[in-house]
Amino acid sequence: MARTALNVIQFTKYNQAIYPHDYYIEVDSGTEGALEVVEENATAGKINYNDDALIGIDGLPLFSEFDAVTTHYVLKVEGFLKEPNAETLQFEFEMKKPDDKYLLVVENTATVPTYHVETTSDDEEKIEVVNSVAGDGEINYDDVIKADGTRMYDSTPLTDTYVKEVSGDKQITILKGNSIQGILDQTYDLRHGGTYYIRLESGRFKNTYGEDKGKVVLETTDTLVKAAVLCFK
């Protein structure tokens, strides 16, 4: 089953640092997933040199200016927190040492109580996007917001467009393991904009046999929920 394998950060020193954000590294043109760095108007497989996301591992912009002489290619590296698999909305990670202590770090990246996503005209929850003076079942284009609280549209869409309202609050569930202690799943509510630290009990959640032997499996309600695991001796 497709799942995102979580980063497990092993702490060996009290001052070990974690870089939480995605970043980019330069790679050869033939590297799978590589993006070509362009000056502007990036399309599929390309990225603008001054894109806000195009930072290095130090958190600083990878390019201060566009290089018109040499063609550069970059590859995105996932940071500390990862998104779940988009199809299954599941994570997994291995509990390798029974004496280690594990702490699940979960971030709900939706920053507002409610936001909008585009939908179809067949959706019973649809709201039509209009230019102004919205009536029943309509919303002004400049009132449509994304999960980060920013406006989805800078002007009225040229075609009939529909959105629906989505709660910014999410959930994550740690699935029970198949040992004798694995009796119940554990679900946590995740308030919008919140970061949570959850202590994991291996006896309840670790699978001791079968295809997922040694693993803990988690599932969430949305790809906006990101997670990672800290491991302490």
| pLDDT tens-digit series, residues 34-43 | 999 999 999 9
Q: Would you say residue 198 lies in a domain?
A: yes
The answer to whether residues 193 and 96 belong to one domain is yes
**Model confidence at 155: pLDDT above 60:** yes
What's the pTM? Answer: 0.76
The answer to whether residues 103 and 199 belong to one domain is yes
CATH for 214: 2.60.120
CA 113 centroid distance within chain: 18
DSSP 8-state class, residue 141? G
**Model confidence at 74: pLDDT above 50:** yes
The answer to whether residues 162 and 185 belong to one domain is no
Q: How many CA atoms lie within 13 A of 38 on its CB side?
A: 11
Amino acid at 83: E
The answer to whether residues 123 and 212 belong to one domain is no
Residue 43 lies in domain? 23-77
Q: What is the mean pLDDT of residues 72-85?
A: 90
pLDDT of residue 58: 76
Q: Would you say residue 98 lies in a domain?
A: yes
Q: Would you say residue 18 lies in a domain?
A: no
pLDDT of residue 9: 74
Q: Would you say residue 119 lies in a domain?
A: yes
Cβ contact 225:106 at 8 Å? yes
If one counts the domains in the chain, the total is 3
